[in-house]
Structures are given as structure tokens and as C-alpha cells.
Amino acid sequence: MAAPSPGPTAAPDATLEPEPVVPRSYVRFSGDRAESVDAGVIGEIRFTIVVDGTELVTLMCSPWQLRPLVVGFLYLEGLIDDPDEIELLRVCVEDRVAEVRLTHGFPAVPPRKILTSGCTGGVSFGKYLSDIERFRLADETTAVAPRQMYELLRALYDSASLYRRSGGVHTAIFAERGRTTPRFVAEDIGRHNTLDKLQGMALLEGVATRGGSLLASGRISSEMLLKAAIMGVPVVGSRTSPTNLALAVAERLNITVCGYLRQSSMNVYTHPWRVVPRGQTWTIDGPAQGR
């Protein structure tokens, strides 16, 4: 795909994005003792993307970061190659719809949609599944130290502002090559949506994602792994586990997958030669003590 360029000129949103945490009263029990609580629960909406007057897809998502969600979804599904192909993007939260006009009209999409794994039942057109080798990452001399991954995990926790307010939401961060401070943070009820949002943020700001790192709070599925490959991200980490199919895709596409990240431990499931402790060098066979 083409390198990212600054994002599309957008029409003003019809309404501002609503508060993603909705006030709610409920009863909390501690043992047999009950108390009334006024707090919040995470918001959820059905959000439809309409392209050139035709409905493309309806997603279940959190009602914020919607503009990057649209841009990232279109890009990672192969429906655009560059954000400049978007002539108009208008998000109307009140109507739960995004209106998009593309330079090339309504895109050609496969007739069969894939319902992705996860609690919100995401949607993918699977346009790239017959040609995933094109996204295989080249061997790189860039490595990550275990300490970098542990620091990214702390950054993931620190960045999870919605989760701290309500729970019930996934968080994902993107860090540029060699960095432990996130460049972008996305939160959503859907794991897949967080990666679409990260890619959309990068495209809208003209930031290249190739060579960076992704860290997610939820399970890494094969669809999420393919999104990371399209982004050109060689290192993907998770607080929990990857699936076996995700690991098969990672092996094939030369992506390092780290799971069960904790404060000072992790499992490296694929291509562990990229993970090199400080003070060591690496070869294709793995880390070796530096001289």
C-alpha cells in the first residue's frame, strides 16, 4: 500500500461525540451488605458507514474516536490505499452514521463478509486473505529489549482512561520504533476496532506505522494479526494470549508475537530473535552475549 499522507478534508460533524461513559445507578453487594451506587457503564452504539450513498457496514463500537475508526477500517480492509481518496467524511453521532464520499466511488467488496471473533462480533470483508504473502515483513536489524515490552505494558495500563472509569473496554497502543511512550491510544468495546482506530489516527496525522510496536489488552486473533501486518508492525504484544491461527499467520508473515505480558515476564511465541536483552547482540538464531 502507499505510504500514508495527511488525512482527508472532513465536513464538520453534525454533533460532537457523546460521552463514552453513560451514568448509571445500580446496587453493589459486598457480602450480604447492599449499597446504592451512582457510577458509569461503557457506551455502545450501532454505527453505520455509508459510502457514496450505499451502506457499507454496520459496526458495534464505543461512541468515540469515530473518525479514525472509519478511516482505519476503510484502509485496513483494503477499500482505500490512501486517506486522500476520501473526498468527504462526515460523522453524525445522533444518527449513528458516517457519510463517506470516495474519489473512486463505492469500492468493490467481496460478496461474503466474515464475522470476526470477539464479544462485539466485528466484521471483515477478508479482501486480503487470498494474498496475505504480500504483507510478509522483511527481516530487520531492529530489535526490542524485554524491558521495552514491560514498559509498554505499563504505558498500556496508564493509558486506559476509559477502562479506569467504567471497565468493559479494550485498550490498544501504538509506539514508534524504539519508543516506549505510545504515539496513539485507542479504546473501544471491540478489540478489532481499537486497531482500526490506531491505523486511522496514524493516517489522519500522516504518521507511518511500519517498524513500530502494538500492544493490546485483549486476545490476539488471526484477524487482528493480519491488521498488524498490513500496518507493517513487526512486534505485537498482549496482556493475554494469542490464538493458534494468529500464531500460524505470524509465523508466515514474520511477526513477533508476545503474550501474557506482565511486569517482568512474557511469552514470545513467534520469531523470538527480535527480542534481545540489553547488552546483547542478535543473530538469526537468537540473542548472543555482546563483547
Q: The domain that contains 239 carries what CATH number?
A: 3.40.140.10
Cβ neighbours around 174 below 10 Å, total: 27
Residue 64 within a domain: no
The pLDDT value recorded for residue 15 is: 44
Domain count within the chain: 1
Residue 140 within a domain: no
The pLDDT value recorded for residue 5 is: 56
Cell of 73: 477500517
Residue 228 within a domain: yes
Cβ pair 48, 98 in contact under 8 A: yes
Residue 180 within a domain: yes
Residue 195 within a domain: yes
The pLDDT value recorded for residue 8 is: 64
Give the SS3 label for residue 89: strand
The pLDDT value recorded for residue 281 is: 58
The pLDDT value recorded for residue 153 is: 97
Instruction: Domain of residue 201: give its range.
Output: 146-289
pTM of the predicted model as reported, rounded to 2 decimal places = 0.86
Closest CA to 122 of 63, 60, 80, 194: 60
Residue 224 within a domain: yes
Residue 24 dihedral angles phi and psi, to the nearest 5°: -155, 135
Q: What is the pLDDT along the chain (291 residues), one digit of tens a residue?
A: 444 555 565 555 544 566 899 999 999 999 999 999 999 999 999 999 999 999 999 999 999 999 999 999 999 999 999 999 999 999 998 899 999 999 999 887 766 555 454 554 555 555 555 678 889 998 876 689 999 999 999 999 999 998 888 888 999 999 999 899 999 999 999 999 999 999 999 999 999 999 999 999 999 999 999 999 999 999 999 999 999 999 999 999 999 999 999 999 999 999 999 999 976 655 545 555 443
Give the amino acid at 244: N
Q: How far apart are CA 271 and CA 258, in angstroms?
A: 10
Q: Is 61 a catalytic residue?
A: no
Q: Which of 61, 92, 119, 258 is catalytic?
A: 119
Residue 247 within a domain: yes
Beta-bridge partners for 216: 172, 238
Cell of 71: 478511516
Residue 108 within a domain: no
The pLDDT value recorded for residue 291 is: 31
The pLDDT value recorded for residue 14 is: 45
Q: What is the DSSP string of 256-269?
A: EEEES--SS--EEE
The pLDDT value recorded for residue 59 is: 94
Residue 94 Cα distances to 117, 186, 187, 196, 276, angstroms: 28, 22, 20, 22, 49
| Percentage, residues of the chain above pLDDT 90 | 71
Q: How far apart are CA 67 and CA 69, in angstroms?
A: 5
Q: State the alpha helices, DSSP H only, in the chain.
A: 66-76, 146-159, 161-166, 191-205, 222-231, 244-253
